Structure 1
Amino acid sequence: MSYELTAILMFAGMMGLLLTGQRVFGAIGFIAVVFTLLLWGTGGSEIAFSAAMKLMKWYALLTLPLFIYMGYMLSESGIADDLYKMFHVWFGPVRGGLAIGTIALMVVISAMNGLSVAGMAIGATIALPELLRRGYDKVMVTGVIQAGSSLGILVPPSVVLVLYAMIARQPVGQLWLAGVFPGLLMAGLFILYIAVRCWLQPKLGPALPAEERAMPLSEKLKLLSAGILPFMIFFLMTGLFVMGVTSLVESSAIGAVSATAAAAIRGRLTLKVIHSTVRNTLSVSCMFMWIILAALCFGAVFDGLGAVKAIEGFFIGELGLSPWEILILMQLSYLIMGMFLDDTAMLVIVAPLYVPLVKLLGFDLIWYGVLYTITCQIAYMTPPFGYNLFLMRAMAPPEVSLRDIYRSIIPFVAVMILALIIVMAFPQIALWLPQHIYIR
């Protein structure tokens, strides 16, 4: 059997297992082990052992459970609820103000968690019922929640960028810094879209009634205190890292400790909160560890088959495409796969093939990591199997139908594609910060 046919069978077998609903790490790891034994016999077991040792020695991976812990602690202790009340009062008098405030909340939650699931849970349980009660259009606000929650995989600390860093062998700190301006750009485009649309169609996002706006300035200023602790945590965690005072792992530890201290200061550090936070942290962290381990094994087998060289020869030699044409085709392939797979599965399947090709074409791998992540955000919201679509369906109230959810994402996907094009056209949006900030 030729190596090309073996690579095709590996890919087809993995896709088949994933489409049956098997866990991502189980499907990928199983195919890797089976083909390792078929190709190299019992000696192939060294690949899995080597991958495990490589994973255990990757010091930056310590940031993963610490940042996840921080996000769940802030969420479970209700500090995120306080933030929404602050945004509710300050943005409420503006048309579409509560939806704009929700996007701002999602940016803050993303900067404290790194997972889109956390933003979706907070948005669907806290913001969505309030927006619907205030007379906001259900289709628009459903899209707002989904689009805002997708920022969690781009704004640092992004867990998806950690996975990309592991596979592409790039510094996590530089990737996180590269995601800052593209994440803010996308959030700004979301806010601009909401503001313009609600200005043109006021019934979609009515302003708060006059009686609710009649709040003394002293009370409004008091509500701002809800944002003091989260922003202090963000400064201690990110600010010290950017200034070169702390390393990446030290920053994640500061974030975890600060979140615990914030919950204690608010009097909410109960046994129930601790138990729920630790349990969720262990569950999510172990899931990602298994996925990374399976990805390393699968990538090692693909490298051994020479599949990377075959892909390079096909695109550059046989098709004769220019570097930019190849890059655009790669992004389109992510969008198509995103209709059926989640971001982790896509990363594991094609990153071992695409990353060497991107490097060969002369593109920056840090910049490409941001492009991949933005494409994942779009894929999260793309029918028929967009991850965020199903999360929203599970969390939304009964009056929000699946048809409403599918309709809601159309304008936001268009905005995200625009953001992707802007970052592709102007790479310095992603690269300026990591190039000008000291990385330890």
Structure 2
Amino acid sequence: MSYELIAILMFSSMMLMLMTGQRVFGAIGGIASIAALTLWGTGGSDIPFSAAMKVMKWYPMLTLPMFIFMGYVLSESRLADDLYKMFHVWMGPINGGLAIGTIGLMVLISAMNGLSVAGMAIGATIALPELLKRGYDKRMVTGVVQAGSSLGILVPPSVVLVLYAMIARQPVGQLWLAGILPGLMMAGLFILYIYIRCRIQPELGPALSEEDVSSVPRAEKIRLLRSGLLPLTIFASMMVPFLNGWTSLVESSAIGALAAFIAAVLKGRMTREVFETSTRMTLAISCMFMWIVLAALGFGAVFDGLGAVKAIDNLFTEQLGLDPWVILILMQLSFLLMGTFLDDTAMLVIVAPLYVPLVKVLGFDLIWYGVLYTITTQIAYMTPPFGYNLFLMRAMAPPEIGIKDIYSSIIPFVLVMLGSLILIMVFPQIAMWLPNYVYGK
């Protein structure tokens, strides 16, 4: 049996195992172990073991529990409530202002947590009821919450980009910097769409009445502004020392976690229940990510040992004569397809052994490709009929919002995200300028 056929058999077996409902790390790691032992005997166990040891020695891995803990402390202590109250007061007087404020809320939540699911949960529980109560169109606001939550895996500290860095063996700091401008650009395009749409159709996002605006004293507005800026202060305390070279990535993550904990204590919201929930969820998610990364690296080591990447590159570029850009676009389309039934982490670890080395062989920058990956997977999350975020929204939304509303609400925002993806593909410097500037390339 040729190595190419063995590689195809491994990949198809892994997909079959996943379709049976097996845990992601079990399916991927199990296939890798069986293949290694079958091909090379007991000595084959050294291949995935060596890959696992690389993770154990990878110092930035310590950032994962820190960032996850920081995000859960801020969300469980309800400090995010102050953010929305701030946007409610300061942005409410203009048409669509609360929806625009919700996008701003999502950007800040992303900077606090790094997980899109957390942004979705906070948006659906805090922003969505308020927007509906103020007379906003239900389809408009449903799309706003889903689109805003998509920024969670792009704006630093993105947990998914940390995982990508481990698997692609790229610097986390450069990936985070590469995600900042695309994330802010996408948020800006969302805001521009909401503003223009609500100017044309004011009934979709009515402004707050003068009575509601005047009922809030100026002193209260200033207090809310200070409270709402607290998460920004936490983010700055973590990122400024890192970008200036005063602290390492791990030290910055520890500063962020400690700052979030202190803020919750000073606000009187660090209860026993909040601390226990935050700690428990941090442990659960960190362990899940660790197992998935271990399995992915083990699979990738066996897959690469077969020479599968070179065989696939030869098939596409020499035998089929495809241009590298065509291959890249086909890879992005495959993400859209997989996103109908897998989450972003599963998509990454399934295709990383194949795609990441192939991208490098084709001559593309792996930092730039990490940004493309995150955007494409979030588009896949929101693409009917089986988008992951669509079902999360259905579970969290009030009864008056049906599945038809959820599906139709996301269409304009998906188009905006596709436009952003195309812009970054055509103009790579949107993603690469900031890391190149900071790291002096």
Q: Same fold (TM over 0.5)?
A: yes
Q: Output aligned runs, 1:405-416, within 5 Å.
A: 405-416=406-417
Indicate the SS of the match to 2:374: helix
CA contact (8 A) 1:342 1:386 kept: no
Tell me how far apart the structure 2 counterparts of residues 126 and 88 of structure 1 sit (CA, whole Å). 11
Following TM superposition, where does structure 1 have runs of at least 4 consecutive aligned residues deviating by more than 4 angstroms? none
User: Is 2:44 the partner of 1:44?
Assistant: yes
1:285 corresponding residue in structure 2: 286
Q: Output aligned runs, 1:243-262, within 5 Å.
A: 243-262=244-263
CA contact (8 A) 2:48 2:302 kept: no
Tell me how far apart the structure 2 counterparts of residues 290 and 77 of structure 1 sit (CA, whole Å). 29
Tell me how far apart the structure 1 counterparts of residues 384 and 11 of structure 2 sit (CA, whole Å). 23
> What is the Cα deviation at residue 262 of structure 1?
0.3
1:362 corresponding residue in structure 2: 363
CA contact (8 A) 1:335 1:378 kept: yes
Tell me how far apart the structure 1 counterparts of residues 147 and 31 of structure 2 sit (CA, whole Å). 34
Q: Which stretch shifts more, 150-159 or 27-36?
A: 27-36
Counterpart residue identity of residue 429, structure 1: I
CA contact (8 A) 2:170 2:366 kept: yes
Counterpart residue identity of residue 375, structure 1: T
> What is the Cα deviation at residue 438 of structure 1?
4.1
Give ranges in structure 2 of 5+ residues lacking alignment.
none
Give ranges in structure 1 of 5+ residues lacking alignment.
none
Q: Output aligned runs, 1:207-286, within 5 Å.
A: 207-214=207-214, 215-286=216-287
1:107 corresponding residue in structure 2: 107
> What is the Cα deviation at residue 298 of structure 1?
0.8
CA contact (8 A) 2:83 2:229 kept: no
Q: Output aligned runs, 1:343-362, within 5 Å.
A: 343-362=344-363
1:388 corresponding residue in structure 2: 389
Indicate the SS of the match to 1:156: coil
Q: Which stretch shifts more, 114-123 or 30-39?
A: 30-39
Q: Report % sequence identity.
A: 75
CA contact (8 A) 2:341 2:388 kept: no
What are the Cα deviations for residues 168-220 of structure 1, in whole angstroms up to 9, with x where unaligned?
11000100010000000000011111111111111111111221111333321
Indicate the SS of the match to 1:334: helix
RMSD of equivalent CA atoms = 1.3
TM-score, normalised to structure 1's length? 0.97
1:338 corresponding residue in structure 2: 339
Tell me how far apart the structure 1 counterparts of residues 377 and 371 of structure 2 sit (CA, whole Å). 10
Q: Which stretch shifts more, 225-234 or 405-414?
A: 225-234
Q: Which stretch shifts more, 118-127 or 210-219?
A: 210-219
2:96 corresponding residue in structure 1: 96
TM-score, normalised to structure 2's length? 0.97
Indicate the SS of the match to 1:211: helix
- How many matched pairs? 439
2:25 corresponding residue in structure 1: 25
Counterpart residue identity of residue 22, structure 2: Q
> What is the Cα deviation at residue 436 of structure 1?
1.2
What are the Cα deviations for residues 21-72 of structure 1, in whole angstroms up to 9, with x where unaligned?
2221121112112222222222222223222211110001110110000000
Q: Output aligned runs, 1:421-432, within 5 Å.
A: 421-432=422-433
Tell me how far apart the structure 2 counterparts of residues 231 and 110 of structure 1 sit (CA, whole Å). 11
Tell me how far apart the structure 1 counterparts of residues 389 and 383 of structure 2 sit (CA, whole Å). 9
Tell me how far apart the structure 2 counterparts of residues 227 and 216 of structure 1 sit (CA, whole Å). 17
User: Is 2:196 the partner of 1:164?
Assistant: no
2:398 corresponding residue in structure 1: 397
Indicate the SS of the match to 2:229: helix
User: Is 2:379 the partner of 1:378?
Assistant: yes
2:195 corresponding residue in structure 1: 195
Tell me how far apart the structure 2 counterparts of residues 357 and 9 of structure 1 sit (CA, whole Å). 19
> What is the Cα deviation at residue 82 of structure 1?
0.9
Tell me how far apart the structure 1 counterparts of residues 148 and 4 of structure 2 sit (CA, whole Å). 41
Tell me how far apart the structure 2 counterparts of residues 191 and 139 of structure 1 sit (CA, whole Å). 16
What are the Cα deviations for residues 306-361 of structure 1, in whole angstroms up to 9, with x where unaligned?
11011110111012122222222221222122223221222122222222222222
CA contact (8 A) 1:89 1:220 kept: yes
Tell me how far apart the structure 1 counterparts of residues 252 and 191 of structure 2 sit (CA, whole Å). 30
Counterpart residue identity of residue 181, structure 2: F
User: Is 2:328 the partner of 1:327?
Assistant: yes
Tell me how far apart the structure 1 counterparts of residues 46 and 139 of structure 2 sit (CA, whole Å). 52
What are the Cα deviations for residues 97-145 of structure 1, in whole angstroms up to 9, with x where unaligned?
1111111000001011110011011001111111111111111111111
Tell me how far apart the structure 1 counterparts of residues 361 and 36 of structure 2 sit (CA, whole Å). 27
User: Is 2:309 the partner of 1:304?
Assistant: no
CA contact (8 A) 2:115 2:153 kept: yes
